[in-house]
Amino acid sequence: MSTLPSSLPVGRASVRVARSSIPARAANGVANSGPAAAWPVRDETITFHDVVLERGDRLERVDVRYRLEGTLNAARDNVVLVVHALTGTTHASDWWKGVIGADAAIDPTRYAVLCANLLGGCDGTTGPSDEYPDALPPFSTRDQAALLARLLDALGVGAPLLMCGGSLGGMVTLEFAASFPARVRSAVVLAAPAAQTAQGIAWNAIMRRAIALGGVREGLALARMVGMLSYRTPEGLERRFGRARSEHDTFQVRDWLEVHGDKLVARFDATSYGALIDAMDDHDVGRDRGGLSAALAAVGDRLTGVGIPGDLLYPAEGVREWTTAAKATYVELPSVHGHDAFLLEVDRVSAVIEKAINESERRAASAAPVAAIAATSIVRAVAPRGRPLRIALAGCGHVGGSLLELFGERALRNDEQQHVDTRPIHVDRVLVRDAERPRPALAQAIARGIAAPDACVTDPTLLLSDDIDVLVEAIGGTTTARTLVETALRRGIRVVTANKALLGERGSALAALARITDTRLDFEGAVCSAIPIVRCIRSGAAGVGITKVSGILNGTSNYVLEKVADGASLAEAVATAQRLGYAEADPTRDLSGQDAEDKLRILAWMCFGVDPATLKVTRRGIDAETAAWATRVALEGDRVKLIASCSREGDEFVARILPTRITSDDPWARVSGPFNRIVVESETAGSLVFQGPGAGGRATAGAVLADILAR
């Protein structure tokens, strides 16, 4: 089953219940009725189709119950998205009194306060229950965040004014920030870690065992009692109860625990409770994103983490650690209440929330707002003839710079030949890491009027806007690049990328996202640069019944092996490749065979339909031992080539990337310099051979340009 990323696409959605007078009914039959409020209240359930979870499970439909308190303004930019904790409901103004209310920090008479029941919950959103324990497969906080993004899309909300949540709600808020940094104007995370702690796992293990031993009623009540002890501090309990007894001559603290246990049983579902704490245990924002710092790098300046000294569940030190790593703001909230201080210290929590909202509004007033997703952007109109094709370019290195040069040459050629029907290209924005670094290609593009004078940006959230027709992703990596590509596809913006690492990891997921949003994902430049192998396979020209694909897929390694065969040392060969632009400053991915593996995964996906992320690849790259062997083989008249191959053997796919000895009269031996060679074998077309430049910014940029111009 194909694995989709957590940033799921905007699918088809339908509203089933749209009457604020009808109380939300939980999946387990418990109704939530709320008192009349001094502002409009909407309780609705929206249905999404074709939801794919992080682990790859595909759900035909998911219902999401939400409450909207207040009124959306015309721009739909006044939304405060509140994410509830473990046993919270959609009735945010009920459980966060003092923080949400008239004249409070979050005032529903000013803002539209949105709170949705999280995936897996029992307040109206699809989740497992005691009656239907298998109603939902395992899910993650990343899946919960992705579903919130889909809800925002359905409501036509791009970036909420503020997003905030505590405990589990804080975890989901962090996941949302990492998955959708362009949609975060300001976020407050209260008493929540970036990754579940050993302490948190331990508390959850005890609660899980309590339910297993005591059943869905007594067990859940006991789990809640255990949870309450983790939410409070010994000092707080001592101050409140000490050894005081009730009128029934029982200890008040015991009565307090039992009341909380019984109250939860009356309104919550034990199976849902277990599934939610399972998601909490799997929580790790840095997973598959290059670590915590990389995951939050694009959004740290808009994050506030609130740590509570004395919190037994999620100590303040852990919150301070992730805010430091993310370069976020850290606020300490001392309280005798411990973990529950985010619910009980309403005045000080309100001050943090109020400051975050003010900063969000101030940023909106002083600079271009964070790129928003308007409801109408899901279906994009075809631009009229004569309007330039507007490009957002992520990255201005070898490929990005060469692409800007090709844009200039194309414009000059069109002017000279008066191609009045050829649509001009304009680069609206270029994302770079260092704005001070000289970039001659960009400067020349600006001088020619191909790029905007203020095109250069360093903030990924400013790259995309509703005017953009094509995102060209040439930044590389799988963190910021993934976020940009997914954001663009969700908004119906066509994507052209040469990022083989991203496609090798998420190719099938991104393709599914493009299909759902009815847009295009093109990536000719990701596999062997100038060789049009992607277009050939996509068009069916490679024939039916492909049985094997083989190739020299990395021009850098091929060039290095050729230089080694000519007598150069491995270090000398790599240095020469770098000087000629055939190798990056860090050639590790090329020499290790990782780059070739990424391309082989893409080819296997296209030829055989196998999810690229699941393909098992045996790989060995080029090291000192391989180089020495290549030198000896050359003295004997043969050559060593790094050959990649994938074929179907029975019910399995066998994929290998190995240094291979080739006789001098073999066509593989004649692939020279940074060239690539691919052979596709099929039942109907026989063997098709492709050969051409496989390294260098200009060769890749040419393939990218062809994708941009493809109709």
Strands 546-552 and 675-682: antiparallel
Assign 26 a pLDDT band (cuts: 50, 70, 90). very low
415 pLDDT band, cuts 50/70/90, is low
Average pLDDT over residues 309-338: 95
Residue 655's beta-bridge partner residues?
617, 646
Among 15-19, 409-413, 653-657, 659-663, the minimum mean pLDDT is found in 15-19
Task: Note the pLDDT tens digit of each residue in 554-582.
Answer: 888 999 999 999 999 999 999 988 887 77
Which pLDDT band, with edges at 50, 70 and 90, does 165 fall under?
Answer: very high
* pLDDT tens per residue across span 336-387: 999 999 999 999 999 999 999 999 998 877 544 333 333 333 333 333 335 7
pLDDT at 109 (0 to 100): 96
Q: CA 241 to CA 579: how far, in whole Å? A: 74
DSSP 471-524: EEE-S-SSSHHHHHHHHHHHTT-EEEE--HHHHHHHHHHHHHHHHHTT--EE-G
Q: How confident is the model at residue 18 (pLDDT cuts 50, 70, 90)?
A: very low
CA 46 from chain centre, in angstroms, equals: 23
Which pLDDT value is given to residue 626?
A: 93
How far is Cα of residue 285 from the mean position of the Cα atoms in its chain? Answer: 10
Q: What is the pLDDT of residue 115?
A: 98
Instruction: Work out the average pLDDT over 511-534.
Output: 86
Least confident of 110-124, 333-347, 521-535: 521-535
State the Cα–Cα distance between residues 66 and 91, nearest whole angstrom: 9
pLDDT exceeds 70 at position 323 = yes
Q: Would you tell me the crossing angle of helices 270-282 and 168-179 to the nearest 10 degrees?
A: 50
More confident residue, 383 or 466: 466
Q: Which residue has the higher pLDDT, 126 or 544?
A: 126
Instruction: Supply the pLDDT for residue 583.
Output: 79
If one compares 411 and 621, the residue with the highest pLDDT of the two is 621
Cβ count within 10 A of residue 683: 10
Closest C-alpha among 527, 530, 582 to residue 557? 582
Give residue 417's pLDDT band: very low, low, confident or very high (50, 70, 90). Answer: low
Q: Helix 198-214 crosses helix 220-231 at what angle (to 10 degrees)?
A: 160
Specify the pLDDT at position 543.
67
pLDDT of residue 158: 87
Band of residue 249 on the pLDDT scale cut at 50, 70, 90: very high
Per the annotation, the verdict on 398 as an active-site residue is no
Task: Indicate if the pLDDT at residue 31 is higher than 50.
Answer: no
| pLDDT of 3 strictly over 50 | no
C-alpha distances in angstroms, 564 versus 573, 615, 624?
A: 6, 31, 11
Q: Which residues contact 139 (CB under 8 A, 6 or more apart)?
A: 53, 54, 119, 120, 275, 279
Quick one: average pLDDT of 645-652?
86
Q: Is 339 a catalytic residue?
A: yes
Question: Which residues lie closer than 8 Å to 366 by C-beta, 6 or more apart?
Answer: none
pLDDT value at 43 more than 90 = yes
Residue 202 corresponds to which tokens in the numbers above? 């331990």
Q: What's the pLDDT band for 99 if we cut at 50, 70, 90?
A: very high
Task: Please give the residue that has the higher pLDDT: either 200 or 442.
Answer: 200
Indicate if the alpha-carbon torsion angle 265, 269, 270, 273 is positive or negative.
negative
Q: Return the minimum-mean-pLDDT range out of 57-66, 118-127, 386-395.
A: 386-395
Model pLDDT, residue 23: 33
The whole-angstrom separation of Cα 496 and Cα 383 is 18
Express as a percent the part of the chain with pLDDT over 70.
90
Please report, as a single letter, which amino acid is at residue 13: A
Q: Tally DSSP H helices, then E strands, for the chain.
A: 23, 23
> What pLDDT, on a 0 to 100 scale, did the predictor assign at position 121?
97
Cβ neighbours for 659, distance < 8 A, ≥ 6 positions apart: 561, 620, 621, 622, 626, 629, 630, 640, 641, 642, 643
Q: Which position among 311, 340, 590, 707 bears the catalytic label?
A: 311
Name the pLDDT band for 584 (thresholds 50, 70, 90): confident
Tokens found for residue 111:
């803002």
Pairing label, strands 187-190, 303-307: parallel
- C-alpha 32, offset from chain centre: 33
Its pTM stands at 0.54
Averaged pLDDT of the chain: 87
167, 272, 529, 682: the active-site residue: 167
Catalytic site includes residue 167: yes
Pairing of strands 546-552, 639-649: antiparallel
Q: How confident is the model at residue 8 (pLDDT cuts 50, 70, 90)?
A: very low
Distance CA 593, CA 26 (A): 52
What is the average pLDDT across 243-253? Answer: 93
Q: Supply φ then ψ for residue 444, to 5 degrees.
A: -70, -40
Angle in degrees, CA 619, 624, 627, rounded to 5? 80
Average the pLDDT over 123-133 and give the result: 95
Give yes or no for residue 609 having a pLDDT over 90. no
Asked if the model's pLDDT at residue 453 lies above 90, the reply is no
Q: Which of 311-320, 350-359, 367-376, 458-467 has the lowest mean pLDDT?
A: 367-376
Say which of 339, 426, 645, 647 is annotated catalytic.
Answer: 339
Report DSSP state, residue 102: T
Alpha helices in 609-654 (DSSP H): 624-635
Q: What percent of the chain has pLDDT over 90?
A: 62
Bigger pLDDT: 9 vs 428: 428
User: Model confidence at 29, in pLDDT bands (50, 70, 90)?
Assistant: very low
At residue 1, the pLDDT reads 30
- Under the banding of pLDDT at 50, 70 and 90, the label for residue 2 is very low
Residue 674 has pLDDT above 90, yes or no: no
Smallest Cα–Cα separation from 618: which of 644, 590, 587? 644
